[in-house]
Structure 1
Amino acid sequence: MTTTIIPNLQNFYNQSQQKQDNHFCDCTLQWRRGQLLVKPSGQVKQPYLPSLHNQPLLVECLKHSPVNLVSIDPKLGESSLRFWADACEQAHKPIFLRIPPGNKLPKQSSQSLRWLQRLIDWMIALVLLLIISPVMLILVMLIQSDSPESLFSCEWHVGQRGKLFRAIKFCTTKKYKLTPLGSWMCKYGVDNLPQLFNVLRGEMGLLGSRCWTLEDAVQLSLKEQRQLNNLPGITASWEVETQPKLLHLDSSTL
């Protein structure tokens, strides 16, 4: 049975009539079997919760709550999703996008093959990291001399079954402009090499579907969101993202 997470608070208000003084849209919180569901507001009464608009308060609430995971509706928009994702990260709570279910649950044999594939990916990623570690060290030194502001970027991406995670990449920009070294790295996909660490963490595979950024994922149709049920792969992301990203960043510097 679904109920509001904090049903005993007073000062109830109708969310469809009252607007908050910030750029985040209002949302409705519901509690279901250890999961916190974050949905767009509707014609329901919801307790006033200051923590929904104050990230430090939200982090403290999540830390001291029995929430196992947070499931958030992509209709809330990118700003709200980032707000909740950052808070869940600080509170050490996993957060998932609410997406349409994919195919039926795989049989036991298929699950065993998937675990074997994950193990193979993990071993290959570890070997590749050991082999290319001198190259990555050189790139780190070059980036440090070319753009000492930041070595890595960790943007929110959508993983298997809608789980949000930070994809690790080399930083290729300086003050929002593409550096000459960054241009070369983007052209050949070298900036994505640190994503091998995401493979070791089980967030990505070597082969798989495209790894969507949070910004792109919220713009997908319901039918397209089914792709987010699959484990994203590094190779698919490199093929799709390298050239469009390079063209986009180049145009911003003109």
Structure 2
Amino acid sequence: MTASIIPTLENLYDVTQEHQDRRGYCTLQWRRGQLLVKQPGRVKQPYLPSLDSKRSLVECLQHSPVTLVSIDPKLGEVLLRFWADACEEAQKPIFLSIPTSNKLPNQPWRQLQRLIDWIAAIVLLLLVSPLMLGLIVLMQIDSTGSLFCREWRVGERGKLFQSIKFCPHNITPLGRWMSKYSLDNLPQLFNVLRGDISLTGSRGWTLEDAVQLNKLPEIKASWEVEAQSHLLHLDSQTL
């Protein structure tokens, strides 16, 4: 059984301020398997109730042919996190829209750098694994909270990923000591293994940075196509 983001297409209307004030309201465009999530405009399109509920959006994405979601950072941090959480649960990659005028890095060099990062991360994990295990034991003794915390960040080509960190209580001596020596960042070695970040590069933008500065990594998104995009107005029950 499939679900549909669009319940009906018979009643189209001009977007009003009332609809724009809804938490999940945005304009959707469809481009060769890619779903573009943009700022609302004065266009005729149906109201999409699925965008008001993360559970409904997850179900729609899971049963849709969408292979990639691209979202405009101008929608704001709340909506970015809402869509990112839904896409992660639906196992759909999500990117922030970035300028297309910039060039891709040299691919052979990029692949070599990835290999070097992967090997270095493996070696470092083997070396620091006793320290990490010790910190986990100390954190369990020191507090009853979560050991790890995740934060959405913007990586290469605008891809959103969750950065992994230890989550010590900074008000405790252990937490202050870990923060002082950046030991809370040790789990980010797993992000390096996954290719989210590089050992020698940036750890990525926070969503707040992406929204406030509207400045993303200057790398062209290779998944973008030049074909003319069309407004999402399909009556398929698979989206």
Q: In 2, Cα distance between the equivalents of 1:32 and 1:6?
A: 16
The answer to which structure has the higher helix fraction is: 1
Q: Aligned-residue CA RMSD in angstroms? A: 2.1
Percent of pairs with identical residues = 66
Q: In 1, Cα distance between the equivalents of 2:166 and 2:104?
A: 36
The CA deviation string for residues 15-48 of structure 1, in whole angstroms up to 9 with x for no partner, is 23333675x2520011001100000100101211
Give the alignment partner of residue 202 of structure 2, picking from 209, 217, 242: 209
TM-score by length of structure 1 reads 0.79
| C-alpha deviation, 1:229, in angstroms | 6.1
Q: In 2, Cα distance between the equivalents of 1:16 and 1:178?
A: 48
Give the alignment partner of residue 225 of structure 1, picking from 216, 222, 225: 216
**Does residue 62 of the first structure (1) align with residue 55 of the second (2)?**
no
| C-alpha deviation, 1:204, in angstroms | 0.8
**How many residues matched?**
217
Q: In 2, Cα distance between the equivalents of 1:182 and 1:214?
A: 24
Q: Is the 8 A contact 1:15 1:26 kept in 2?
A: no
Q: Is the 8 A contact 2:99 2:218 kept in 1?
A: no
- Which residues of 2 match residues 70-85 of structure 1 at below 5 A? 70-85=69-84
- Which residues of 2 match residues 229-244 of structure 1 at below 5 A? none
**What corresponds to 1:148 in structure 2?**
144
**What corresponds to 1:251 in structure 2?**
none
Q: In 2, Cα distance between the equivalents of 1:151 and 1:35?
A: 36
Following TM superposition, where does structure 1 have runs of at least 4 consecutive aligned residues deviating by more than 6 angstroms?
none
**What corresponds to 2:161 in structure 1?**
165
Gaps of 5+ in 2: 222-239
Give the secondary-structure state (helix, strand or coil) at the position aligned to 2:192: helix
User: Highest relative contact order (Cα 8 Å, sep 6+), 1 or 2?
Assistant: 2
Give the secondary-structure state (helix, strand or coil) at the position aligned to 1:192: helix
User: Which AA in structure 2 matches 1:33?
Assistant: R
Gaps of 5+ in 1: 231-254
Q: Is the 8 A contact 1:169 1:192 kept in 2?
A: yes
Q: In 2, Cα distance between the equivalents of 1:40 and 1:46?
A: 13
